[in-house]
Structure 1
Amino acid sequence: MLYADYVVIEWMVLPSFTDSLWGAFHVLAFNSVLFLAFLAHLRAMITDPGIVPMHKNNELTKVRVLPMSDDDYSDESDTDVFLKKPSFVGEDWSLCTKCESFRPPRAHHCRICRRCIRKMDHHCPWVNNCVGEFNQKHFLQFIFYVGILSAYAIGLIITSWVYHDHYGVTGAKGPYGERAQHTKVIHTICLTIESALFGLFVLAVACDQLQAIFNEETVVESVVRRGAGRIRRRPAKSKYELLREVCGPGHWSLWVLPCTSLTAERDFVHFPIDLKNMNV
């Protein structure tokens, strides 16, 4: 994105809008979107995606995991796991034998983070973090701004060549000759390819994310459902309500600002020090 910022300003905007306020406008607008993209990326990277905390009590409870088949009750097929069960764990919570913790509904284990993540969608190498309940909003904002930057850059490329001045700074008959125009052509090709690739990629990711939100089913849940041969259930909530769950209860115009997080409003998973274990 820094390369795109350099090409847009130095080779597209300034040579084409030297004596116009449109040059300052495009520079300010493009860099504002770029700043929001970096901020959204930072928030998606450092925000807790919804890691299910592990209980630190030293007292252990022996849990027996029964075999899958009802007609097999041999001791060899049983699995003994030593876990700690806090008193608030409900019947709809599941047991993760990998990180040895109880997790709320729709939480899944990430093999890279080695922890269970609430409403885990996938582990994204772009942000070096899982995309889960608390940072999916920032991930959506990041791909949204990258898409805007890609479309904006292509629009400025077209505009700069429409108003290209052969006697200007980057013109063949300008002060720097044909070398400047050839350099602009090379930057144009590189930026067009970069913008097209990033734009198409984030468009595909955005469609995938919105489909997961509107279907009320993460990528992990979709894979599990298809593997079990089950039919996807129809969401009981409207699309607007589902978006509010991801982006927050504020006005929809505030959903594009990477300034707030859902963690403080929904973080009900905690382990008080004085919790007592209960037998499973």
Structure 2
Amino acid sequence: MDEVESGYGTMHETGAGKIIVKSARRPAEDTVVIVDCTPFCKRLGLMWPEGQQLWFVKDICGVICAVFTWMLVGYAEFVVLFVMLIPGTSAVYATVHGLLFTFLSTMAVSSHMRTMLTDPGAIPRGNATKENIMKLGLKEGQVIFKCPKCVSIKPERAHHCSVCRRCIRKMDHHCPWVNNCIGENNQKYFVLFTMYIFLISVHALYMAISHFIGCIGQEWRGCGGFSPPATTVFLIFLIFEGLLFGIFTVIMFGSQMQAICSDETGIESLKEHATWEKKSRWLSLKSVFGHPFSFTWFSPFSTPRIGKTESYLYTV
């Protein structure tokens, strides 16, 4: 008699394949809201991918961090446009840098929204039932694992998130700044978010330092529509913000790219020895950003085409 982990307790499998449930357990209260926008968008005549659902984690800390992130991007946009570019600069300089900064900011916020509102690769809660396990077509003696916290069939390389209260496929970590886990389905958007935040930080630093030096050289004559003390405060805070988030995001971007290229998530690098066959760097990149390579790799509005799902990512 082979013992098998089930969704609601321990099962025993006999030679005839009969499974008996011995005990029961229910998953903890859900913390995720999943909304299907397809009917609403169809009524409004809007384009919406069929079956695409919005995912939102009900975590007050994550919500505060996400809103704070938007506020910081909005502050940078305000200072760049209304303190440095629009008042007292040439039309060409203001247009070029204004459009570039606005483009990068839009891409950063869009990447953040896609990361936050995309299902990271969650396993359905409570799916480790007798019926679902039978559907897997397991061979005699084959062992599967269940998560005792969310009561789900746990595929290889899936890990439980205590905030989302679900097992997440290829979970790297839970990030409060995007109020979501970083996993199989949204890692691309998180990488783009860190990249675009780093780029706008560098751009803002360059413009803020140049503007500050120029204003000192002109003794603050014609340096914007604000008083010299107010302009100084705006610029100093923007420089501090650019340095802080530039350093933070370039570190996160580097760690994510290293994890993708090594085909090993942050959690796996700390807790496990690889039991799966690792892909090459190029195949690992395509498994996150899509196949084949195109400029859509850099767009948060494009859902990556992954191709055939690996066998270890089974769900029922």
Report TM bin, short chain.
Answer: 0.7 to 0.9
Q: 1:260 to 1:92 in 2, by over 3 A?
A: farther
Does the aligned pair in 2 maintain the 1:55–1:86 contact within 8 Å?
no
Does 2:121 correspond to 1:50? yes
Q: Which residue of 2 aligns with 1:153?
A: 204
Q: For the residues of structure 1 that align with 2:190 and 2:157, how far apart are their CA atoms?
A: 19
Q: For the residues of structure 1 that align with 2:209 and 2:277, how far apart are their CA atoms?
A: 43
Runs of 4+ in 1 over 6 A off after TM superposition: 232-235
Q: 1:234 to 1:245 in 2, by over 3 A?
A: same
- CA RMSD in angstroms, aligned pairs only: 2.8
Q: 1:22 to 1:221 in 2, by over 3 A?
A: same
2:171 to 120, 123, 144: 120
Q: 1:101 to 1:235 in 2, by over 3 A?
A: closer
Q: Which residue of 1 aligns with 2:108?
A: 37
Q: Which residue of 2 aligns with 1:96?
A: 147
Does 2:297 correspond to 1:255? yes
Q: Which residue of 1 aligns with 2:244?
A: 197
Structure 1: gaps (5+ residues): 62-82, 272-280
Does 2:170 correspond to 1:170? no
Does the aligned pair in 2 maintain the 1:55–1:84 contact within 8 Å?
no
Aligned length: 236
Partner SS for 2:168: strand
Q: For the residues of structure 2 that align with 1:14 and 1:189, how far apart are their CA atoms?
A: 19
- Mapping of 1:137-148 within 5 angstroms? 137-148=188-199
Single out whichever of 8-17 and 150-159 deviates more from structure 2.
8-17
Does the aligned pair in 1 maintain the 2:159–2:169 contact within 8 Å?
yes
Shift of 1:45: 0.5
Q: For the residues of structure 1 that align with 2:143 and 2:287, how far apart are their CA atoms?
A: 20
Shift of 1:182: 2.3
Shift of 1:42: 0.5
Partner SS for 1:85: helix
Does 2:95 correspond to 1:24? yes
Q: 1:86 to 1:163 in 2, by over 3 A?
A: farther
Shift of 1:265: 5.2
Q: For the residues of structure 2 that align with 1:115 and 1:167, how far apart are their CA atoms?
A: 56
Q: What amino acid sits opposite 1:20 in the alignment?
A: A
Q: For the residues of structure 2 that align with 1:89 and 1:158, how far apart are their CA atoms?
A: 64
Q: Which residue of 2 aligns with 1:79?
A: none
Structure 1 length as normaliser, TM-score?
0.74
Structure 2 length as normaliser, TM-score?
0.67
Percent of residue pairs identical: 34
1:3 to 60, 75, 83: 75
Shift of 1:52: 0.9
Shift of 1:9: 1.0
Does the aligned pair in 2 maintain the 1:212–1:218 contact within 8 Å?
yes
Q: 1:135 to 1:89 in 2, by over 3 A?
A: farther
Q: 1:234 to 1:156 in 2, by over 3 A?
A: farther
Q: What amino acid sits opposite 1:170 in the alignment?
A: C
**TM-superposition CA deviations, 1:196-217 (whole Å, max 9, x none):** 0000011111121122112211
Larger Rg over CA atoms = 1
Q: Which residue of 2 aligns with 1:87?
A: 135
Shift of 1:150: 0.3
Q: Which residue of 2 aligns with 1:277?
A: none
Does the aligned pair in 2 maintain the 1:15–1:168 contact within 8 Å?
no
Single out whichever of 249-258 and 200-209 deviates more from structure 2.
249-258
Bigger relative CO (Cα 8 Å, ≥ 6 apart): 1
Structure 2: gaps (5+ residues): 1-72
Single out whichever of 196-205 and 256-265 deviates more from structure 2.
256-265
